[in-house]
């Protein structure tokens, strides 16, 4: 093959590769079957993950719709009225859904396949009791609980080891790290903002060191060794909607 033909071939394969990547991202979430989409279910259960509020659902569509049939264990912190847990149960046909909250939901009659447990996400002994009862090995752990700095960082530090390799730990409402918009006392933000979840993530990206006053040394080391990627998403809503998606490394 002469040089010109080789260059043409390389350029053509880049172009085809680029097109197919774009195609995948634009078709992500469009159900290839008759099942309701994640948007349909979000609207059905009136979850605040969609529409006018934070609109995190577009990110969930991109991340989770391609994994819809393979996810088996999905754990969300923070139940409120059960909207999101009901949505996940309908969305993932092969998954058990787990939830913890300060309040007891055991008599609320959420669906079969949704398991709830009373726990404070900022207390390791509560999280341990939940794991002792239901096990780990989650495909996804989603934190939509109290959104204070200690809540977010204790839960991330303690629970990351209970994710499957390649699994995702998602922290919603990372914007509570921004005292210009959210009251610092309510979310346990220091005067100099040095303890915020947003600062911790930015510092990790900058230095490769995970440092948190709310984590043990062992938890920080485990995170440092086992993070594959971090994605911070920001949407220009009035709420400054910010979310963080942390993927765990696959096992070698
Ligand atoms: C934003 S709501 C959850 C909404 C629900 N995930 C949804 O999308 O439909 C937050 C929930 O977190 C719970 N919560 C607040 N602080 C908590 C804590 N420290 N530990 C566990 N749950 C907490 C509250 O009781 C409330 O039900």
* 46-102: pLDDT as tens digits: 988 887 788 899 999 999 999 999 999 999 999 999 999 999 999 999 999 999 999
Averaged confidence pLDDT in the chain: 88
- Spatial separation of the C-alpha atoms in residues 120 and 125, rounded to whole Å: 9
Nearest CA to ligand 1 atom 3: 78
* Helix pair 217-226, 149-159: axis angle to 10 deg: 70
Look up residue 130 and give its two tokens: 């939940």
Q: Look up the pTM and report it.
A: 0.88
Q: Cβ < 6 Å from ligand 1: which residues?
A: 47-49, 76-80, 83-84, 100-103, 120-122, 144-146, 151
User: pLDDT at residue 26 above 90?
Assistant: no
* SS3 label, residue 138: strand
Distance (angstroms) between ligand 1 centre and the Cα of 215 equals 21
Q: In a mutational test of the pocket of ligand 1, which residue from 38, 47, 56, 78 has the highest number of ligand atoms less than 8 Å from its CB?
A: 78
pLDDT digit string, tens, across residues 161-220: 999 999 999 999 999 999 999 999 999 999 999 999 999 999 999 999 999 999 999 999
User: Probe ligand 1: pick from 102, 118, 158, max atoms within 8 Å of CB?
Assistant: 102
Contact 218, 205 (CB under 8 A): no
Distance (Å) from CA 141 to ligand 1 centroid: 14
For residues 11 and 166, which has the higher predicted lDDT (pLDDT)? Answer: 166
What does the pLDDT read at residue 4? Answer: 45
Ligand 1: nearest atom to the Cα of 151: 19
């Amino acid at each position: 093959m002469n040089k010109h033909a080789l260059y043409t071939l390389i350029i053509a394969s880049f172009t085809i590769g680029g097109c197919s990547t774009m195609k995948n991202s634009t078709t992500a979430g469009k159900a290839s079957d008759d099942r309701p989409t994640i948007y349909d279910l979000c609207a059905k259960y009136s979850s605040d993950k969609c529409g006018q509020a934070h609109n995190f659902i577009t990110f969930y569509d991109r991340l989770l719709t391609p994994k819809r049939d393979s996810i088996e264990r999905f754990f969300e912190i923070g139940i409120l009225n059960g909207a999101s847990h009901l949505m996940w149960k309908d969305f993932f046909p092969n998954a058990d859904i787990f939830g913890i909250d300060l309040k007891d939901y055991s008599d609320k009659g959420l669906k079969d396949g949704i398991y709830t447990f009373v726990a404070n996400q900022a207390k390791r002994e509560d999280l341990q009791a939940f794991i002792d009862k239901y096990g780990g090995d989650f495909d996804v752990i989603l934190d939509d609980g109290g959104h204070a700095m200690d809540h977010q960082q204790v839960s991330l530090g303690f629970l990351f080891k209970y994710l499957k390799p390649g699994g995702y730990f998602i922290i919603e409402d990372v914007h509570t790290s921004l005292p210009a918009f959210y009251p610092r006392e309510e979310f346990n933000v220091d005067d100099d903002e040095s303890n915020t979840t947003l600062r911790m993530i930015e510092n990790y990206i900058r230095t490769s060191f995970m440092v948190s006053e709310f984590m043990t040394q062992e938890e920080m080391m485990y995170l440092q060794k086992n993070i594959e990627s971090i994605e911070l998403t920001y949407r220009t809503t009035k709420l400054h909607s910010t979310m963080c998606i942390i993927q765990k490394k696959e096992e070698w």
